Amino acid sequence: MALAPFALTPLRSSRSVPVTLNQTVIRGSEHFQYQPTIWNYDHLEDSLRSSFMGEAYTNKKATLIRDVRVMLEKPVGSLAQFEMIDALQRLGICHLFKEEINTSLEDMYNCKNSFFNNELYGTGLAFRIFRQHGFQVSQEVLDEAISFSSKHLRDHLKRANIEPNLAAQVSRSLEVPLHWRMQRSEARWYMDVYEKEENMNPALAQLAKMDFNMLQATFQRDLRNMMRWWTNLGVATKLTFARDRLVESFLASTGIAYEPQYARCREWLTKVMKFVLIIDDVYDMYASLDELELFTDAVERWDYKAMEKLPQYMKICYLALYNTTNDMAYDILKEQGFDILPYLARSWANFIKAMLVEAKWCHTSYTPSLQEFLDNGWISSSGSVFLVHAFFATQQEITSEALEGLDKNHDLLYCTSMMARLSNDLATSSAELERGDIASSVYCYMIEENASVGDARNHVRGLIRDTWKKLNSSIFESPFDPAFVNLAVNLVRTCLFVYQYGDGLGVEASQSKNHVLSLIVNPVEVEFNNSNC
- Which mean pLDDT values do the consecutive 10-residue runs of the chain (533 residues) have? 30 34 46 78 88 88 94 78 93 94 87 64 84 78 74 78 84 87 95 92 95 96 96 94 93 96 97 97 93 97 94 97 98 95 97 97 93 97 97 93 92 96 84 64 95 95 94 88 94 92 60 90 80 41
Confidence at residue 163, expressed as pLDDT on a 0 to 100 scale: 86
Confidence at residue 509, expressed as pLDDT on a 0 to 100 scale: 62
Confidence at residue 364, expressed as pLDDT on a 0 to 100 scale: 92
Q: How many residues does the chain have?
A: 533
In angstroms, the CA 92 to CA 219 distance is 15
In angstroms, the CA 392 to CA 217 distance is 25
Residue 9: name the closest of 446, 353, 485, 473 by CA. Answer: 446
Which residues have a Cβ under 8 Å from the Cβ of 11 and sit 6 or more positions away?
A: 433, 434, 436, 438
Confidence at residue 18, expressed as pLDDT on a 0 to 100 scale: 42
In angstroms, the CA 344 to CA 321 distance is 11
DSSP output for 353-377: HHHHHHHHHHHTT----HHHHHHHH
Stated as kind and residue range, the H or E segment containing 18 is none
Q: Judging by beta carbons within 10 Å of its beta carbon (0-12, 13-18, 19+), is residue 134 exposed, middle or buried?
A: middle
Q: Parallel, antiparallel, or unpaired for β 19-21 and 24-26?
A: antiparallel
CA angle, 501 then 505 then 508, to 5° = 75
In angstroms, the CA 404 to CA 156 distance is 49
pTM for the structure as a whole = 0.89
CB 52 within 8 A of CB 533: no
Stated as kind and residue range, the H or E segment containing 25 is strand 24-26
- Dihedral over alpha carbons 498, 504, 510, 513 (to 10 degrees): 70
Residue 296: name the closest of 285, 286, 306 by CA. Answer: 306
Helix, strand, coil percentages in the chain from 3-state DSSP, rounded to 5: 70, 0, 30
DSSP output for 303-341: -GGGGTTS-HHHHHHHHHHHHHHHHHHHHHHHHHS---H
The one-letter code for the residue type at 398 is I
State how far the alpha carbon of 396 is from the alpha carbons of 93, 285, 335, 401, in Å. Answer: 22, 37, 13, 12
- Which is it for the CA torsion 467, 377, 296, 233, positive or negative? negative
- Dihedral over alpha carbons 406, 411, 414, 416 (to 10 degrees): -100
In angstroms, the CA 521 to CA 514 distance is 10
Domain 5-14+209-521 fold is: Farnesyl Diphosphate Synthase (1.10.600)
Confidence at residue 29, expressed as pLDDT on a 0 to 100 scale: 47
Helix (H, G, I), strand (E, B) or coil at 21: strand
Is CATH 3.40.1710.10 correct for 55-208?
Answer: no
Domain ranges of the chain: 5-14+209-521, 55-208
The one-letter code for the residue type at 212 is F
CA angle, 182 then 186 then 189, to 5° = 150
Confidence at residue 316, expressed as pLDDT on a 0 to 100 scale: 97
Confidence at residue 138, expressed as pLDDT on a 0 to 100 scale: 73
Residue 283 sits at φ, ψ, to 5 deg, of -75, -30
In angstroms, the CA 224 to CA 228 distance is 6
Residue 161 sits at φ, ψ, to 5 deg, of -100, 15
State how far the alpha carbon of 501 is from the alpha carbons of 170, 249, 378, 426, in Å. Answer: 19, 17, 21, 10
Confidence at residue 12, expressed as pLDDT on a 0 to 100 scale: 28
In angstroms, the CA 295 to CA 287 distance is 10
Give, as one character, the DSSP assignment of residue 51.
Answer: S
CB neighbours of residue 13 within 10 Å: 16
Which residues have a Cβ under 8 Å from the Cβ of 212 and sit 6 or more positions away?
A: 92, 187, 188, 191, 523, 524
